[in-house]
Amino acid sequence: MSVDIAVENVVLKRKLADYERKLKEQETDPLTQLYSKQKFFSEVRKMLDANPHKPFIFIRFDIERFQLINSFFGLDEGDKLLQYLAFKMRQFALVLPNCIIGRIEGDIFGMCYNFNSSPESLRAMMMQNLESFIGGYRADYELRIIIGAYPIEDNSMSIESIYSRVILASKKCKQNPTGGYLAFYDASMSEDMIKNQRITNQMSTALKENQFEVVLQPKCHLKTGELIGAEALVRWRHPENGYLPPSEFIPVFEKNGFIFKLDEYVWNKACEYIRSWIDSGFDLVPISVNVSRYDLRSSSLPAKFKEILERYNVPAKYLHLEITESSYAEDANAIVQEVQRLKDVGLHIEMDDFGTAYSSLNMLNEMPIDTLKLDMSFVRNYEKSPGRAIILQFIVKLAQALNLEVLAEGVETKEQAEHLLSLGCCMGQGYYFSKPVPKKDFDVFVMQHVTASA
């Protein structure tokens, strides 16, 4: 062999060793020494192909609010936690059949193994192992690990499809903070996702084509039945699926951000209705519109309301805003300021669904609100137990002491109306008076109102 060829060989060998080292680095996550995402997915693929008829389960682990650990305790502490979790997973893997583990990204880990038992046994195993580790990890931090699991139904399925199902299971777990830390994928999750996507694809056209209808539900004096206002509620006249209630689409719009556009449409419609009654010379009652907590994130909300009121030349006192109690729970101080700015425009503020978010009664005093709208559950439950009846009585007294108006939602019977009256609550809304009705039917209520007050 010539010297040249020998040198060339040495260089080639070095290049090969370099290449293998780099490949290994890419295949291994340097922090935890587990497989990196690509290598993990390809190893799972190989394992499923080699065992087409064996049952496997794919599990995704995700540390809840991991960024907070980094911000509270520093990046080193975050890294330590990830390493510790990887160490625990390796221990798991040793006792599980055909088990492959990997770090998918950030604080997300994956595991796939031959799983032949029931969901209950998986839950029990996780309880025993992970819980004991999590429980004692740091006394000064509530650590929670979200686990999404999918028992693979068909081993020839692509890894991407398998992984998207575990993500759906994890999401279900996250949405239910008190419902445990482990959720299994089920087919309805994909159906929901497809349904929500369909709603998302159709929403802009629906708005352009006036498929959203704004109906009105009267608010009445509990003793005389006199009309004192109305709530504007939205419906979707869907060309294929019929008349859809808000529960079908509002939660999707709150997630994808479209709620602001829809609410703006409803606010405009409400003012258009008020203008039509002014023009007809009717005796007016204020109309309440719902303001989603997502709308409150926009700092231009007061300007937006001013603009709408000016567009229809409607005095602010005829538009009431319903803001749910839970909106205040997130960032009370910021929301209080934002709502105060709305009140400064001259808008009357109602706290909707009061009693569902357990806001601090201390805070109530400082909140810029005019009316407490008691959640339906108060009316529904007071008959069930004396304790609940006392709470209802207490809330009405409290509202009076704070100089707030109080209105009960979900009044369905004469008995309920009379009971509320006996407590000192004089305003109500519910099927006892009327269901939400289209504008043309509500016009009749407004006309009668002229007669009643004439």
Residue 53's beta-bridge partner residues? none
Based on the shown chain and the rule CB under 5 A, indicate whether residue 322 belongs to the binding site for Ca ion. Answer: yes
Listing DSSP states for 270-294 in one string gives HHHHHHHHHHTTPPP--EEEEE-TT
Q: How far is the CB of 231 from ligand C2E (least distance, A)?
A: 6
Torsion on CA atoms 271, 273, 277, 283, rounded to nearest 10: -70
- Cross-strand bridge partners of residue 113: 57
**Exposed / middle / buried, residue 95 (Cβ in 10 Å: 0-12, 13-18, 19+):** exposed
Following DSSP, what letter does each residue of 68-128 receive, concatenated? HHHHHH-HHHHHHHHHHHHHHHHHHHHHSTT-EEEEEETTEEEEEEE--S-HHHHHHHHII
Q: Which is nearer to Ca ion, 185 or 382 (CB)?
A: 382
Q: Residue 210: left (phi > 0), alpha (psi -120 to 50), or beta?
A: left
Among 412, 421, 437, 447, binds ligand C2E (CB under 6 A): 412
Binding mask 188-227 for ligand C2E (x = CB under 6 A): -----------------------------x----------
Record the tokens describing residue 91, joined without a space: 């221990």
The count of chain residues that interact with ligand C2E, using the rule CB under 6 A, is 21
Judged by beta carbon distances under 5 to 8 A according to partner kind, the member of ligand C2E, Ca ion, none in contact with residue 233 is ligand C2E
Q: Between residues 250 and 342, which has the closer beta carbon with respect to ligand C2E? A: 250
Q: Does 263 bind Ca ion (CB under 5 A)?
A: no
Q: Which of 74, 97, 239, 245 binds ligand C2E (CB under 6 A)?
A: 245
Find the shortest distance in angstroms from Cβ 214 to Ca ion.
Answer: 13
Cα-trace Rg, the chain: 30
Sign of CA dihedral 375, 376, 380, 383: positive
- Are 168 and 183 in contact by the 8 Å Cβ rule? The answer is no
Both tokens of 303, joined, read 């300007």
Q: Which stretch binds ligand C2E (CB under 6 A): 106-114, 116-124, 140-148, 245-253?
A: 245-253
Site string for ligand C2E, 247-276 (x = CB under 6 A): x--x--------x---x--x----------
The interface with ligand C2E within residues 347-366 (CB under 6 A) comprises 352-353
Active site residue 27: no
Span interacting with ligand C2E, options 130-138, 178-186, 242-250, 358-366, rule CB under 6 A? 242-250
Q: What is the footprint of ligand C2E within residues 288-307 (CB under 6 A)?
A: 290, 292
CA-to-CA distance for 134 and 142, rounded, in angstroms? 9
Q: What binding mask, one character per residue, do residues 305-344 give for ligand C2E by CB under 6 A, x or -?
A: -----------------x----------------------
Catalytic member of 409, 412, 415, 418: 409
| DSSP state, residue 413 | S
Bridge-partner residues for 242, per DSSP? 238
Catalytic positions, written as ranges: 409
Judged by the rule CB under 6 A, the positions of this chain that interact with ligand C2E are 217, 233-234, 245-247, 250, 259, 263, 266, 290, 292, 322, 352-353, 410, 412, 429-431, 436
Judged by the rule CB under 5 A, the positions of this chain that interact with Ca ion are 290, 322, 352-353
